[in-house]
């Protein structure tokens, strides 16, 4: 959901590809929202909210979904618009979260890293919220109550086009008291063109 003190000119839903077979019944609602806010000079700030697929056969469907989002963001960037996407990648966006949070007391493999080369050819970059001096995970495995040593990682974050400058990005540590996710935060500025 997107809340804004600025006027949202339009909001649309974009359907994402889903797996075939029985698993598709678990993902029929997969989509992202596209919200447009007018910006200076006739440009738009285009905001995307997304939740990519998890627990898939090999993780490739989430990568396919991500590439669709990147393609849409690139097309908006080519028009001179500013783009920010935020959501649940269902991928380990730190590459190996255990380097920051330690090894879990159980083994899971549902959140693989984003494959090398995924962002090649796009003016879009990944913003993984991480304070290396005080790392906080954005997600925990939801198969039981939270406990120290549980499988934790960072799967929530942002994508921004090259005309968006990120000032700060972090995970807010609520110790998973409200959800299996901690909220993520990003402060940014729009970079005016030449």
Q: Where are the domains of the chain?
A: 10-190
64, 17 contact by CB (below 8 A): yes
Least trusted range by pLDDT, from 2-11, 54-63, 68-77, 135-144:
54-63
* pTM for the predicted model, two decimal places: 0.90
Spatial separation of the C-alpha atoms in residues 139 and 151, rounded to whole Å: 9
Per-residue model confidence (pLDDT) at position 29: 64
Asked whether the CA dihedral 71, 76, 80, 85 is positive or negative, the reply is: negative
Cα-Cα-Cα-Cα dihedral of 191, 81, 131, 102, to 10°? -160
Q: Right CATH number for 10-190 from 3.30.390.10, 3.60.10.10, 3.90.79.10, 3.40.718.10? A: 3.60.10.10
pLDDT in tens, 153-194: 999 999 999 999 999 999 999 999 989 999 999 999 999 875
pLDDT in tens, 16-47: 766 666 555 555 567 688 999 999 999 999 99
């Amino acid at each position: 959901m997107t809340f804004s003190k600025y006027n949202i000119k339009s909001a649309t839903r974009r359907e994402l590809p889903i797996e075939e077979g029985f698993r598709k019944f678990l993902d029929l609602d997969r989509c992202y929202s596209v919200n447009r806010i007018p910006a200076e000079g006739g440009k738009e700030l285009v905001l995307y909210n997304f939740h990519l697929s998890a627990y898939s056969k090999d993780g490739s469907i989430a990568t396919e979904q991500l590439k669709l989002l990147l393609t849409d963001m690139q097309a908006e960037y080519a028009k001179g618009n500013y783009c920010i996407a935020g959501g649940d990648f269902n991928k380990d966006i730190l590459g190996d979260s255990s380097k920051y949070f330690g090894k879990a007391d159980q083994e899971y493999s549902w959140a693989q890293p984003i494959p090398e080369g995924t962002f090649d050819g796009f003016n879009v970059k990944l913003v993984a919220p991480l304070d290396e001096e005080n790392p906080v995970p954005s997600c925990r495995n939801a198969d039981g109550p939270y406990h120290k040593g549980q499988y934790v990682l960072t799967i929530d974050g942002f994508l921004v086009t090259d005309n968006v400058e990120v000032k700060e990005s972090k995970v807010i540590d609520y110790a998973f008291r409200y959800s299996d996710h901690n909220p993520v935060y990003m402060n940014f500025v729009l970079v005016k063109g030449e």
